[in-house]
Amino acid sequence: MSQKIIIREAENNDRDAIAEVILDAYHQYSEIMPEPLWLAYRKSLIESVHGEAPIVRIIAEIDKKIIGSALLFSSSETAYGKPELGIHSPILRLLA
């Protein structure tokens, strides 16, 4: 029998688990990026999860364990810190 996957908006107490899932998904980059760049990228991933920039954090869970996530940002400024990109529509990123 297949397991039921629940998709829901994350709560504040889900942020550590979201960060863990994202870091696990993005860990492959640590093997190809120079260490200083990876450490900076890793820090930005964690800050994206724990910061206030996402307008929505969505998670997927099985048996109350978070197995995936996505963060929705309102613009390129909030998503990437780059207002010069001129994206003023929602951006879905950090899918894990």
Q: Could you read off the pLDDT of 28-84 as tens digits, one per residue?
A: 999 999 999 999 999 999 999 999 999 999 999 999 999 999 999 999 999 988 999
Residues contacting residue 75 through CB under 8 Å, at least 6 positions apart: 83, 87, 88, 89, 91
Which domains, ranges and CATH numbers included, belong to the chain? Answer: 5-93 (3.40.630.30)
pTM, entire model: 0.87
Q: Indicate whether 14 pLDDT > 80.
A: yes
Give the span between the Cα atoms of 79 and 52, in whole angstroms: 11
SS3 57: strand
User: How high is the pLDDT of residue 3?
Assistant: 87
DSSP element (H, E) containing 52: none
Q: Indicate whether 1 pLDDT > 70.
A: no
Confidence of residue 5 (pLDDT cuts 50, 70, 90): very high
Residues contacting residue 22 through CB under 8 Å, at least 6 positions apart: 45, 49, 69, 94, 96
